[in-house]
Structure 1
């Protein structure tokens, strides 16, 4: 039963009452027996609600630079989508690797740091920006996790996604805003000055509701744009000659976990998925935690048809791991556990209980070395 008080006052109980305990297209509905017929119906509605922009043909990929660092062969890549500035990315693989290896699409986080994208989870040289070093210390236990998993025998692609890094909104492209979003006083954001980066991140945070409203007005959603851009990256990774396209995985922390939910749930090319620090229920967001989350989380109307964890559950019986932190300030622990129960029910009903696993760790929002060890072992189990 919903409490009398919530983040939307006494409207919380009413808002929760609009939802069904078992949404309209949930596989947990006793009337739904066959996985494939359920998936067809649920996937069709999910795709409709997410309303991702067209993907189009696979773009030409330009190799900007090749070098070796940290025992890895590294390529700096770029490609042009039909909208926005060119996407920048890095590809990491064990030094000298030639035979087809499993591939992992490593999805960077949000962290209220839109100036950076893929650079938040890789290390490509000793001259790492101090802000990136600090971020990896606090969120990743001092590790560039994309490098670490690549060393285990994977080809890893990490790309900037919509509104981050090379895909961020540039000051000089914005007009018509005033007040806190006034761009007239901004200076060269490419200088990578600490203060300028922090100022940009603060500006970009305030710009998020503007972008979200514009996307909704255009008939799409932020998860939909993420999905399109992540699927393009998956296209590119799967076509690499040193990658086995039948052994693809994806994963990420926080915003990367959110992207894992949508990409792994809606694209069955992802044979193994690890969602870190992004699992809860719609009720948690209604009553307690929507204010702790980015506008990038939400797909209007989808809660009528699927609970949040059931988006990821669309991939059943493909292997799926969810990693949670007990003191994660972004979620309520009881709702993380309820989401876990929902996914367990979906996998059990599909006869695939062994293909789903969740784990809990003490501590705040993070993807530390203990969690990375478990995530990498999961990838090894299903992709190697």
Structure 2
């Protein structure tokens, strides 16, 4: 009789009612403007100071069908961030570029065709599907920053004894919370600095820059595109859902939670901020942590948003037979077309 389940359920519905009542007092444009402002505020860093990018080339390797560089750039709060840059071998003019954001795992190496130790993993990709590698093979310049908490950017304690694939999300998120900073906010701000780097390159066409995110990387891709319209097209794999159906229903990493967000929005409404820019959603029908039933709820909401914006044809969807994984069979050609000159 003392368990909190019913109270927590009532709390969700009370906030849902408050959001609905607020919308009734506004027109659609007012709601969108206020929603974007609230999201920007939620993702802001209390101690934010942009650092100079000062890109440094760490290595350049020629591979069979592309060049792979590793660089480091400055972002915020004094952080220096390693990133892979994948370059097509033939670049005759300014080229479309993609900011590729990895999910939980061993970091940026996991999507560029490498094992954790840096050896080749071109032919046996895991659930991430080497999607940065697949994108450069389709002619994109691809920039892959290492998100804080993964790979080489884990806390020292989490790298002891040769540990691979674990993260520092729990410790980083709880410590950052003491400063009034969310881990999602820090990652989004670093993604925006990576975007600044992309747009600083003379070989990139600034009118043709997209983002591609999987799982936790999908969260960062979504929120970054929602507040930064320099991103012209977005692919979200294994992420689109409702908060109620995903991170409130199934155990998820703490990095998925944005304090106070239900005061002003459910997840589909945040994703609606991308309209009318092109958006592609890919999700496995057997994904255990982003259930298909509420994926479909989010998609229906977004179809309505895009139709109302006169941009129904710019929303792409692929619900494939699979689990929590990347399936780019439709997403890759869609992004090529979305970022055509």
- TM-score norm. by structure 1 comes to 0.80
**Structure 1 residue 44, shift from structure 2 partner:** 1.0
Partner of 1:378: 334
Q: 1:215, 1:231 → 2: CA distance?
A: 19
**DSSP 3-state at the match of 1:60:** coil
1:219 and 2:180 matched? yes
Which of 215, 238, 262 does residue 223 from structure 2 map onto?
262
Partner of 1:210: 171
Greater RCO (Cα-Cα under 8 Å, separation 6 or more): 1
Partner of 1:350: 309
1:72 and 2:66 matched? yes
**DSSP 3-state at the match of 1:147:** helix
Superposition map of 1:267-346 within 5 A: 267-285=228-246, 288-289=249-250, 291=251, 293-346=252-305
Partner of 1:19: 15
C-alpha spacing 1:282/1:123, structure 2 compared with 1 (3 Å): closer
Q: 2:39, 2:79 → 1: CA distance?
A: 28
C-alpha spacing 1:282/1:21, structure 2 compared with 1 (3 Å): farther
Q: Which runs of 5+ in 1 are unaligned?
A: 172-180, 188-195
**Structure 1 residue 129, shift from structure 2 partner:** 4.2
Partner of 1:190: none
C-alpha spacing 1:45/1:68, structure 2 compared with 1 (3 Å): same
Partner of 1:117: 107
C-alpha spacing 1:349/1:129, structure 2 compared with 1 (3 Å): same
Superposition map of 1:89-108 within 5 A: 89-108=83-102
Which of 161, 176, 180 does residue 147 from structure 2 map onto?
161
**Structure 1 residue 58, shift from structure 2 partner:** 4.1
**DSSP 3-state at the match of 2:259:** coil
C-alpha spacing 1:89/1:347, structure 2 compared with 1 (3 Å): same
**Structure 1 residue 92, shift from structure 2 partner:** 1.0
**Structure 1 residue 281, shift from structure 2 partner:** 0.9
Q: 2:20, 2:58 → 1: CA distance?
A: 48
Partner of 1:250: 211
C-alpha spacing 1:24/1:223, structure 2 compared with 1 (3 Å): farther
Q: 1:287, 1:44 → 2: CA distance?
A: 24
Q: 2:287, 2:139 → 1: CA distance?
A: 31
Partner of 1:42: 35
**DSSP 3-state at the match of 2:12:** helix
Q: 2:177, 2:304 → 1: CA distance?
A: 33
Q: Are 2:55 and 2:72, in contact at CA under 8 Å, matched by a contact in 1?
A: yes
For residues 124-171 of structure 1, give each alpha carbon's deviation from its aligned partner in whole angstroms, at most 9, with x where no partner exists.
69x8548x679x63304xx42212211211111111011122322112
Partner of 1:176: none
C-alpha spacing 1:245/1:24, structure 2 compared with 1 (3 Å): farther
Q: 2:40, 2:205 → 1: CA distance?
A: 27
Q: Are 1:84 and 1:167, in contact at CA under 8 Å, matched by a contact in 2?
A: no
**Structure 1 residue 236, shift from structure 2 partner:** 0.3
- TM-score norm. by structure 2 comes to 0.89
**DSSP 3-state at the match of 1:139:** coil
**Structure 1 residue 296, shift from structure 2 partner:** 0.8
Partner of 1:175: none
Root-mean-square deviation over aligned CA pairs: 2.8
**Structure 1 residue 95, shift from structure 2 partner:** 0.5
Q: Which runs of 5+ in 2 are unaligned?
A: none
- Tell me the matched-pair count: 337
**DSSP 3-state at the match of 1:99:** coil
**DSSP 3-state at the match of 1:230:** helix
